Amino acid sequence: MALKKAKRQKIKIPVLLTGPSGSGKTLSALMMAKGIVEKMYPDMSEVDQWEKIAIIDSEHERSLLYADNTIADTKIGEFLHYDLKAPFSVERYEQAFKECKEAGVEVIITDSISHAWSGLGGILDAQQEAGGRFQDWRKVKPLEENFLKMLVESGVHTISTARTKQDYAMQPNELGKVEVVKLGLKVEQKDSLEYEFAVVLRLDMNNVATASKDNSNLFKEPFRITKETGHELYDWAEAGIDKAEQEEKERQSLLDDLRELIHGDEARQSYLKELETKADKSYEEFPKNLLEKAIKLVKEYTAPVTPQETDAFNN
């Protein structure tokens, strides 16, 4: 049944901080991250809490200036640091994310994601290498989708920073004379970027944040980002059912169904081994979507397995 009652789910928060150089994006991200980790691990030592935070730094190691410093009554500890240098390809960002998660990090700060767009080896360069024509954008669209999926569906809390710059346009004035008009600050990333995040905060040169998108409804007035900002965001993110826990329960239920299907049936057990070979993992490790396919195929199984049947498994 596809139709069901809507329930509030726990989430891993994807936050975007935008602003010009000098607006305090990196420090604000560290403060927010520390607040999130404090809420997650209230009994953990300060040293260990900071090791749950990692920065993927494409800003010439600028974030290291804050390590072991006390700022606004907050001691910035020794967070984990990943120095990302050019080329700033999506694949290299993905590798950095993978290493951070393998280290047990709970909050990943990507400082900044602008390089993945306009930096050397970024998505704009990839589009030029693909031919540079408008229709060549479709060739790099998978790169854009993979990058955004990494930032908002990574299984950890993420805080991304993006540079903004003054945007201009040539427009006629009331006298019909063409003049340069300021359009405001434009993020150095794709135009629809903000739609992908739960919370988007714009920082000005006084380090004051204003929400341009806020699914949490926490930030109605301009404010300064502190550890308490992270506390509030974490509390909001936790106010619901645990989606990952719920999905694992559903997966275990499907596993029970599959075990019952193959119990005492050597032919079906042999067939399932063929599916395991195709998936390159034990059926006990199958994610929910593969389990659903496996159950369907095992239920329908009536003859010796054919290459066509196993090929249908992962497609």
- Residues 49 and 76: beta-carbon distance below 8 Å: no
Which is nearest to 20 in space by CA: 205, 167, 199, 222? 205
Domain ranges within the chain, ordered by starting residue: 10-240, 243-311
| Phi, psi values for residue 75, rounded to 5° | -80, 115
What pLDDT is attached to residue 40?
Answer: 95
Candidates 1.10.3470, 3.30.200, 3.10.530, 3.40.50; CATH matching 10-240: 3.40.50
Specify the pLDDT at position 220: 87
CA distance 183 to 77: 39
Residue owning tokens 């993110």:
237
Q: Looking at residue 308, what is its pLDDT? A: 60
* Preceding omega of 307 cis (within 30 degrees of 0): no
Q: Do the bridges between strand 74-76 and strand 69-71 make them parallel or antiparallel, or are there none, so unpaired?
A: antiparallel
Note the residue count of the chain: 315
CA distance 139 to 120: 18
Whether the Cβ atoms of residue 66 and residue 76 lie closer than 8 Å to each other? yes
H/E/C letters for each residue in 189-202? CCCCHHHHCCEEEE
Residues 261-292: pLDDT tens digits? Answer: 999 898 999 999 999 898 899 999 999 889 99
Packing angle between helix 266-279 and helix 243-262, nearest 10 degrees?
140
> Quick one: pLDDT at residue 56?
97
Q: Quick one: which of 174, 170, 215 has its CA closest to 16?
A: 215
The number of beta carbons lying within 10 Å of the beta carbon of residue 113 is: 28
What pLDDT band is residue 74 in, cutting at 50, 70 and 90? confident
Mean pLDDT of the 68-82 span: 88
Separation of first and last alpha carbons in the chain: 23
Residue 86 has pLDDT above 90, yes or no: yes
CA distance 163 to 110: 12
Confidence band for 182, pLDDT divided at 50, 70 and 90? very low
3-state secondary structure of 222: coil
From CA 220, how far away is CA 212, in angstroms rounded?
10
